[in-house]
Structure 1
């Protein structure tokens, strides 16, 4: 997918290079918004909500959270045995991406606008700090209960503090492997640059971290943590999730570290595009009613076996409210599916970049009929269908209308992009197109583009 033509309002290139924004203006009923943590002014990619009194940390000490009581071992004794720690790029899975429907998305990455004071005991001069231990619920509550899962998972969930040119930000993250890699959202660390990130453990100890890779399109990033031997969380398969499954969200909403909420999976494959025109993300989201608030971004969404099935990334915003008017959770939150997370994170750890599947066309965003229409021309005189690309090889032409992807109808440009991004490079996909009133199916092999 090539870069969008900023000077055209009639169409946008959706499928040459990874797009930096939606082809169409956000639907009024579904303005995606990153939910920054309390008290932040919106940044270019992270519009934030208002300070939520009385929890807004403006200045002074943060106040360390209580240290969870130590269990009899560093790992849960009553939790199902987690998978062995990942030592590098591991199992791959399908990648999910999506665009906003009639919902309003708002990110849950935390932005904190005041000074971030030190709290707890920090690591010093490369000295390794003691890793957090599971809380009492890991042994005193039944296996599979919310209390048991929360106590077991909390030592592997961290709070990330980022200092950038636009001020401070805070969000959540979780330990991915035994090499110190922590997964979070791109929008949480986007302002960090080469700066060191402060990683606050669940026992209040602080260590440092550095971004090793990030991808705005999938809204994922990996931070390497130094100075603590942290246990990774087991990762489940989001393809096994069904609507109604119970889930648990863990993170630092409103700057409140080690917060646990629970709910159910409300919907699957919900297309959501939080972010702004120049830094859009595409999430084929798991929708949940578990309370997710500013600051939860990057934290894990767990199933009732304590496995990560998603990364909390966005929350709904009531239509008509300003970007700065986000008041918090309204029971509609969104998480990046773990299948997408695993594939993208392994790429970020290996190369620092993620690969995006494309079909190689520009779409006409002025088209308002059924399906999605391929543009007549690309920007700067480029062809609308990339010569030699997947769509060209499959026989798609300028002006064709794409009505379905893998047999499922598509209604707008972003939805098609979402469905394509949910697949892997090299995978074959089937599109239904209409030309001159005649419908036919075409098959193509997805190409990759950074």
Structure 2
């Protein structure tokens, strides 16, 4: 079974974020030391002394004028901004935003404003634990998407969500899926503002993104960053599902994600949700240590996958798991990457495509396969019934096939 290669967290029962209150440490920048000034060169003798005197006189006058002008402008600027001595302030008060402040609909501030009405704080409580996470409204009649690990520790507990209006409303758990780490709640409300969906398949590294949620109990928090990478194979909380390791192809971002952000939306610069905030790497050997937090490496579930899973949960109460009908060798490490098959189920997608034990899949849906976890994550990203072009190696030769994915029969 594959395991996480580095520390990660979820908002599970024993995580520290519920009571963590680690004070921030301010690090002062050292004061730079000015370089020593070189002594002036000795003046030349004779006729050059008169010329130098004239130059010095002109320079002195220019310096005095410049100094007086700079001092006057500096005093006016300081006085206008309430800085300086105890004399009367010069100028008039102006509380309007500076001209450079852009809060137009297409600005980052506009993107946050567009998405905030759909943001909720999720509370899950039973006799053992209180869990707080984030979520977002996906329909006017009260369906809400969050992470499975936000609610899974209290499967028989009480759920509520805090709306943008400040109203806290009782919620019902419709269903959840451990492989994708998606859960759906429902509240008895209508006329809500659903979030606008983006397209996670059209993202590129460097795209600006904003993480929304309730990190460390701070409601309606927005943090800004970029897409750091795509298709990172990350373990799902339910890492071992029926003996099969579970991974998802995550969006990596440096937008600050902390405990409590789980389940909240990762939005693009237009305010459209393109991911569901899910986990971080803390940089701590003990990822459960109190105070562990964001170091700029966070992950989100691509919204195209989350939307498909959430729709199935809303429709049937459960989600299907996408499979290829073959097991994958966890110990295989190919020189050029790839995932080695250990066997193919008779009548399954892999067998129908002509694959057999020992084949090494090197390209899946047009993307090179790094290893077994990468292939598992890419399979999970697709929906049952999707037809995917693959390349594989058999006995040193390169082959191609069309693979029709299926749903797990379990």
The bucket for the TM-score relative to the shorter chain is 0.7 to 0.9
Find 1:294's aligned residue among 232, 256, 259: 259
* 1:236 equivalenced with 2:205 (yes/no): no
Aligned-partner Cα distance in 2 for 1:246–1:255: 25
Deviations 1:5-49 (A, max 9, x none): xxxxxxxxxxxxxxxxxx32333xx3443256xxx624xxxx869
Aligned-partner Cα distance in 1 for 2:238–2:182: 16
Aligned-partner Cα distance in 1 for 2:398–2:143: 48
Aligned position for 1:223? 185
How far the C-alpha of 1:316 sits from its partner, in A, is: 1.7
Aligned position for 1:366? 331
* 1:33 equivalenced with 2:9 (yes/no): yes
Aligned-partner Cα distance in 1 for 2:403–2:332: 24
Aligned-partner Cα distance in 2 for 1:307–1:372: 34
Find 1:353's aligned residue among 282, 293, 318: 318
* Closer/same/farther in 2, CA of residues 35 and 281 from structure 1, 3 Å limit: farther
Structure 2 runs not aligned, ≥5 long? 25-101
How far the C-alpha of 1:165 sits from its partner, in A, is: 5.4
Deviations 1:391-422 (A, max 9, x none): 11122122222233234332321111111111
How far the C-alpha of 1:387 sits from its partner, in A, is: 0.5
Deviations 1:262-289 (A, max 9, x none): 1222222222114254467532222211
Contact 1:298-1:312 at 8 Å conserved across structures: yes
Aligned position for 1:308? 273
Aligned position for 1:442? 401
Deviations 1:146-187 (A, max 9, x none): 333323322221111111354110000111011100110111
Q: Judging by fraction of residues, say which structure has more strand.
A: 2
Aligned position for 1:273? 235
* Closer/same/farther in 2, CA of residues 243 and 330 from structure 1, 3 Å limit: same
Contact 1:157-1:250 at 8 Å conserved across structures: yes
Contact 2:22-2:291 at 8 Å conserved across structures: no
Find 1:332's aligned residue among 297, 306, 323: 297
1:159-238 maps to which residues of 2 (within 5 A)? 159-164=121-126, 166-227=128-189, 229-238=191-200
Report the 3-state secondary structure (helix = DSSP H, G, I; strand = E; otherwise coil) of the residue aligned with 2:289: helix
Report the 3-state secondary structure (helix = DSSP H, G, I; strand = E; otherwise coil) of the residue aligned with 1:323: coil
Aligned-partner Cα distance in 1 for 2:394–2:183: 41
Contact 2:248-2:376 at 8 Å conserved across structures: no
* 1:53 equivalenced with 2:53 (yes/no): no
RMSD over aligned Cα atoms: 2.5
Aligned-partner Cα distance in 1 for 2:263–2:215: 11
* Closer/same/farther in 2, CA of residues 426 and 228 from structure 1, 3 Å limit: closer
* 1:385 equivalenced with 2:352 (yes/no): no
Aligned position for 2:43? none
Deviations 1:77-108 (A, max 9, x none): xxxxxxxxxxxxxxxxxxxxxxxxxxxxxxxx
Contact 1:312-1:336 at 8 Å conserved across structures: yes
Structure 1 runs not aligned, ≥5 long? 1-22, 56-139, 376-383
Aligned-partner Cα distance in 2 for 1:49–1:196: 17
Contact 1:49-1:327 at 8 Å conserved across structures: no
* 1:341 equivalenced with 2:306 (yes/no): yes
Q: Judging by fraction of residues, say which structure has more helix.
A: 2
Find 2:110's aligned residue among 131, 141, 148: 148
How far the C-alpha of 1:260 sits from its partner, in A, is: 1.4
Deviations 1:42-72 (A, max 9, x none): 4xxxx869823259xxxxxxxxxxxxxxxxx
The structure showing larger relative contact order (alpha-carbon pairs under 8 Å, at least 6 residues apart) is: 1
Aligned position for 1:251? 213
> Based on CA coordinates, which of the two structures has the bigger radius of gyration?
2
